[in-house]
């Protein structure tokens, strides 16, 4: 077999192998994960995962500029004030909550909070002491949307983390959907509680009476998840009430896409074949 043909076959094999048919979920790991407390408010700096060198930084958790929460009392937009459960109450299937020691939410006195409070910028970072609390047998749905002009498109590399979710407790499941640019949804991706790993800190909020460890999930998406304007998290009654601390994401701006690592390897091999042919 001549070298040019061998290189072509190898490149084709890499291209084929890099397109994987299912998402890969990595557990977060304490080693390599770093955060800092500002009083009772927590800022994430780096989130690491077991089994991949891919990481996420604090800025990846500030991608969200719009969204909505649907629970058993209605649907609430990004800035809408959502009624809250505090001091052991369990009225709302999903609602904003905060750490006992964190800065109070702006509408604390009214026992309300917004998605912007939980997922928006707090002094320049996403406050990991603010969460969406879910009830054990409750169903709710959370949509998070990127800024206009930003999209999420997964690459074809199974080690690249495109999404990450921090969940308090590590004893709940959840579904993730991609929201396409036209508003349609991808198929549901089930994320089992068994796939998460401890990030190294715990969280005790007003609604519960003790601290629970925070777990992280890093998700390398199926390469068919492209041109997504946002994502949806879903809790079902059988999922044991996930408590969502934060959602991190990579994004792309159409026209400025960076080639996936697998594509770069393929380009390198093809370039090598071309140079060898020229030397002949």
What's the pLDDT tens digit per position in 27-70?
A: 999 999 999 999 999 999 999 999 999 999 999 999 999 999 99
Domain of residue 129 covers 24-279
Residue 3 forms part of a structural domain: no
Residue 37 forms part of a structural domain: yes
> pLDDT-based confidence at 255, cuts 50/70/90?
low
What's the pLDDT tens digit per position in 64-116?
A: 999 999 999 999 999 999 999 998 889 999 999 999 999 999 999 999 999 99
pTM for this predicted structure? 0.85
Quick one: tokens of 73? 């009392």
Residue 15 forms part of a structural domain: no
Residue 2 forms part of a structural domain: no
Residue 12 forms part of a structural domain: no
**Count: domains in the chain:** 1
Residue 174 forms part of a structural domain: yes
Residue 65 forms part of a structural domain: yes
Residue 7 forms part of a structural domain: no
Distance CA 25, CA 173 (A): 13
């Amino acid at each position: 077999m001549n070298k040019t043909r061998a290189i072509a076959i190898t490149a084709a094999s890499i291209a084929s192998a890099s397109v994987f048919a299912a998402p890969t979920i990595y557990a977060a790991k304490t080693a390599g994960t770093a955060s800092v407390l500002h009083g009772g408010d927590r800022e994430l700096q780096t989130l690491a995962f077991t089994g991949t060198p891919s990481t996420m930084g604090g800025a990846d958790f500030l991608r969200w500029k719009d969204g909505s929460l649907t629970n058993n009392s209605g649907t609430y937009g990004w800035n809408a004030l959502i009624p809250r459960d505090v001091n052991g109450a369990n009225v709302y299937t999903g609602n904003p909550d905060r750490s006992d020691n964190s800065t109070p939410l702006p509408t604390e006195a009214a026992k309300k909070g917004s998605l912007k409070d939980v997922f928006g910028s707090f002094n320049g970072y996403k406050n990991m002491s603010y969460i969406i609390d879910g009830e054990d047998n409750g169903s709710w749905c959370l949509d998070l949307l990127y800024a206009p002009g930003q999209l999420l498109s997964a690459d074809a590399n199974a080690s690249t983390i495109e999404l990450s979710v921090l969940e308090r407790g590590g004893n709940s499941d959840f579904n993730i959907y991609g929201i396409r640019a036209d508003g349609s949804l991808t198929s549901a991706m089930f994320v089992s509680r068994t796939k998460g790993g401890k990030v190294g800190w715990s969280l005790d909020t007003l609604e519960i009476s003790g601290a629970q460890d925070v777990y992280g999930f890093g998700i390398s998406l199926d390469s068919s998840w492209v041109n997504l304007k946002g994502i949806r998290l879903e809790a079902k009654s059988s999922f044991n009430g996930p408590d969502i601390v934060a959602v991190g994401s990579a994004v792309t701006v159409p026209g400025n896409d960076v080639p996936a690592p697998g594509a770069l390897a393929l380009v390198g091999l093809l370039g090598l074949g071309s140079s060898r042919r020229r030397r002949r």
